[in-house]
């Protein structure tokens, strides 16, 4: 899990599932991806944006969720990012 800050404010929480998860759960990354997507969909409904079954984005009132499934020759990862809304000018000033 990664916490990403900008100007002392939390701007993103990122969960990254790598092959280490496979060793612990005995599930392949595709199964982890399907389970992750279904869990988010059950809680928040259908995604706002879909890109090739590899990236889903939920734009919600208080935050957004981005879930992606990336494969390369050597590594397969599932990443879920929670991002709060961008501050408005009123918030900054």
pLDDT in tens, 11-70: 888 888 776 555 566 667 778 888 889 999 999 999 999 988 789 999 998 889 999 988
pTM of the model: 0.74
How far is residue 4's CA from residue 1's CA, in Å, rounded to a whole number? Answer: 10
The pLDDT assigned to 21 comes to: 52
The pLDDT assigned to 91 comes to: 55
First to last CA, the chain: 31
How far is residue 43's CA from residue 67's CA, in Å, rounded to a whole number? Answer: 14
């Amino acid at each position: 899990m990664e916490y990403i800050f900008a100007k002392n404010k939390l701007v993103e929480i990122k969960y990254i599932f790598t092959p280490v998860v496979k060793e612990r759960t005995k599930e392949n990354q595709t199964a982890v991806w399907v389970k992750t997507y279904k869990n988010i969909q059950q809680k928040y409904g259908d995604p706002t944006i879909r890109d090739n079954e590899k990236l889903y984005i939920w734009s919600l009132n208080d935050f957004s969720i981005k879930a992606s499934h990336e494969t390369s020759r050597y590594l397969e990862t599932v990443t879920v990012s929670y991002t709060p809304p961008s501050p408005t000018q009123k918030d900054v000033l």
